[in-house]
């Protein structure tokens, strides 16, 4: 498969904007910068940030064991997903494939870009991709297949053999959205980047790393794909405050790992407690920091919980999610209150 053949012609031909900080990259010491029309009075953020986020990428590279040439950072993974669609999908011509029930942003971003969305539902109850149906649904304009694993809102990981089949048989880009990978038993696909030229992995600082507020998404792919994404990203897409805060957070991996361990314990306790709530029909297994449950009447239970001061996500309108609610794992205290409240309804 040639990645170049998948890229939109207009993007391949694009000459990227060259910013002041692209054109002069020398060290900052003893230089006077009069090239970017910045305000010269120091306040910590008066200068444009590094457009390539060199220091931050070096840190991520070390933590993830992926070379920096295989990393692109975005203003949340949502920006990364948008860039991927714009790189590969010609408006009013190409399509993406998604596997409902899944993360809502893939379809929204496709719609924004006038790209059609083909849908192949996950299998009933096990929520695994129906691999041969997916390959059958694809046509020559199917440029990206989005796999969310662990999947939001169902919480399960997709089987490695199924993902491998799709990587080998789908004739486009396979994006594995690993927003919840730090809570999963399954391994990340980051280690397989070299084996599959069409593999793109996205991760985020918004969930396990506890930094949803700073908006930092990560994209890992071949140097070829990353180079083209770099051409089309906004020049200074990661602001200085985000770069600073991300580095601060990523230097505290012991804290992050202990929080993950705590949330995994809490998830186990929550699942056990949910199984004893009489109107909960089913508690689905979870590889993420949330649990999906099927109840007798999702709309009613959702409203009741709001009345008792607890906000959860009602997923009942999603395919295969009749009467399903999605509950985020909170602190021990929060989970206790959730359970106590559920038992009084
Ligand atoms: C939360 C979430 C994200 C994170 O998006 P950000 O823009 O990085 O905050 C991505 N994918 C899925 C499936 C999610 O649930």
Query: What digits encode the pLDDT tens for the residues 241-268?
Result: 999 999 999 999 999 999 999 999 999 9
Q: Is the CB of residue 109 less than 8 Å from the CB of residue 78?
A: yes
Q: What is the pLDDT of residue 249?
A: 98
The full set of domain ranges for the chain reads 3-251, 254-344
Whether the predicted pLDDT of 28 surpasses 80: no
For the chain, what percent of residues have pLDDT higher than 90? Answer: 95
Whether the predicted pLDDT of 215 surpasses 80: yes
Using pLDDT thresholds of 50, 70 and 90, give the confidence band for residue 22: confident
State the DSSP code for 294: E
The model's pLDDT over 270-302, given as tens digits with 9 standing for 90+, comes to 999 999 999 999 999 999 999 999 999 999 999
151 lines ligand 1 (CB under 6 A): no
Nearest CA to ligand 1 atom 7: 76
**Nearest one of 250, 257, 263 to 335, comparing CA atoms:** 263
| 3-class state of residue 290 by DSSP | strand
34 exposed, middle or buried (CB, 10 Å; 0-12, 13-18, 19+)? exposed
Pairing between β-strand 324-328 and β-strand 290-295 as defined by DSSP bridges = antiparallel
Whether the predicted pLDDT of 57 surpasses 80: yes
- Which of ligand 1's atoms lies nearest the C-alpha of 151? 13
Q: How many angstroms does the Cα of residue 203 sit away from the middle of ligand 1?
A: 8
Pairing between β-strand 142-148 and β-strand 173-177 as defined by DSSP bridges = parallel
The model's pLDDT over 175-192, given as tens digits with 9 standing for 90+, comes to 999 999 999 999 999 999
When comparing pLDDT for 25 and 307, which is higher? Answer: 307
- Which of ligand 1's atoms lies nearest the C-alpha of 77? 8
Q: How many angstroms does the Cα of residue 204 sit away from the middle of ligand 1?
A: 7
Q: How many angstroms does the Cα of residue 76 sit away from the middle of ligand 1?
A: 7
Whether the predicted pLDDT of 26 surpasses 80: no
How far apart CA 56 and CA 13 sit, in angstroms, is 29
Whether the predicted pLDDT of 43 surpasses 80: yes
CATH number given to 3-251: 3.40.640.10
Cα angle 152-158-160, degrees, rounded to a multiple of 5? 150
Q: What is the pLDDT of residue 92?
A: 98
152 lines ligand 1 (CB under 6 A): yes
How far apart CA 24 and CA 33 sit, in angstroms, is 10
Positive or negative CA dihedral for 206, 286, 190, 171?
Answer: negative
**Nearest one of 131, 135, 147, 134 to 180, comparing CA atoms:** 147
Q: How many angstroms does the Cα of residue 211 sit away from the middle of ligand 1?
A: 12
The model's pLDDT over 131-175, given as tens digits with 9 standing for 90+, comes to 999 999 999 999 999 999 999 999 999 999 999 999 999 999 999
Could you tell me which CATH class the domain 254-344 is placed in? alpha beta
128 lines ligand 1 (CB under 6 A): no
Centre a 10 Å sphere on the Cβ of residue 321 and count the other Cβ atoms it contains: 21
Q: What is the pLDDT of residue 1?
A: 80
**Nearest one of 64, 132, 2 to 73, comparing CA atoms:** 64
- Which of ligand 1's atoms lies nearest the C-alpha of 75? 7
103 lines ligand 1 (CB under 6 A): yes
Between 54-64 and 240-250, two packed helices, what is the crossing angle to 10 degrees?
Answer: 30
77 lines ligand 1 (CB under 6 A): yes
Residues 40-58: what's their mean pLDDT?
Answer: 97
148 lines ligand 1 (CB under 6 A): yes
Q: What is the pLDDT of residue 18?
A: 86
Between 1-5, 158-162, 309-313, the lowest mean confidence (pLDDT) is in: 1-5
153 lines ligand 1 (CB under 6 A): no
Nearest CA to ligand 1 atom 11: 179
Pocket test for ligand 1, best of 83, 98, 177, 246 (most atoms within 8 A of CB): 177
The model's pLDDT over 58-112, given as tens digits with 9 standing for 90+, comes to 999 999 999 999 999 999 999 999 999 999 999 999 999 999 999 999 999 999 9
H-assigned helices in the chain = 3-6, 9-12, 20-23, 54-64, 77-88, 105-112, 131-137, 160-169, 223-232, 240-250, 253-274, 298-307, 332-344
Residues in the chain: 345
Q: What is the pLDDT of residue 261?
A: 98
């Amino acid at each position: 498969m040639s990645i170049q053949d998948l890229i939109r012609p207009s993007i391949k031909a694009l000459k990227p904007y060259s910013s002041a900080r692209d054109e002069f990259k020398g060290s900052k010491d003893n230089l006077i910068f009069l090239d970017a029309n910045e305000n010269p009075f120091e306040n910590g953020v008066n200068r444009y940030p590094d457009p390539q986020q060199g220091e931050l990428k070096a840190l991520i590279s070390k933590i993830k064991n992926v070379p920096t040439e295989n990393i692109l950072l975005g203003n949340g993974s949502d920006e990364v997903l948008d860039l991927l669609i714009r790189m590969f999908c010609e408006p009013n011509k190409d399509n993406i494939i998604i596997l409902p029930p899944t993360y809502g942003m893939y379809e929204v971003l496709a719609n924004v870009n006038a790209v059609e969305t083909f849908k192949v539902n996950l299998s009933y109850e096990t929520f695994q991709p129906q691999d041969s149906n997916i390959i059958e649904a694809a046509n020559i304009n199917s440029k990206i297949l989005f796999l969310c694993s662990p999947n939001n809102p169902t919480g399960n990981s997709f089987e490695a053999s199924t993902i491998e089949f799709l990587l080998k048989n789908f004739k486009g880009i396979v994006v594995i959205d690993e927003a919840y990978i730090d809570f999963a038993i399954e391994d990340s696909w980051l280690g397989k980047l070299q084996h599959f030229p069409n593999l793109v992995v996205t991760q985020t600082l918004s969930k396990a790393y506890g930094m949803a507020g700073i908006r930092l998404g990560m994209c890992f792919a071949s140097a070829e794909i990353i180079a083209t994404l770099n051409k089309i990203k906004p020049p200074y897409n990661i602001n200085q405050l985000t770069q600073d805060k991300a580095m601060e957070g990523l230097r505290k991996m012991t804290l992050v790992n202990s929080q993950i361990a705590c949330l995994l314990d809490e998830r186990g306790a929550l699942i056990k407690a949910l199984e004893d709530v009489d109107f909960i029909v089913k508690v689905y297994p979870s590889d993420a920091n949330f649990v999906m449950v099927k109840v007798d009447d999702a709309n009613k239970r959702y409203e009741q919980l709001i009345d008792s001061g607890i906000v959860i996500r009602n997923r009942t309108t999603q395919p295969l999610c009749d009467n399903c609610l999605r509950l985020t794992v909170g602190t021990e205290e929060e989970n206790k209150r959730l359970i106590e409240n559920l038992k009084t309804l």
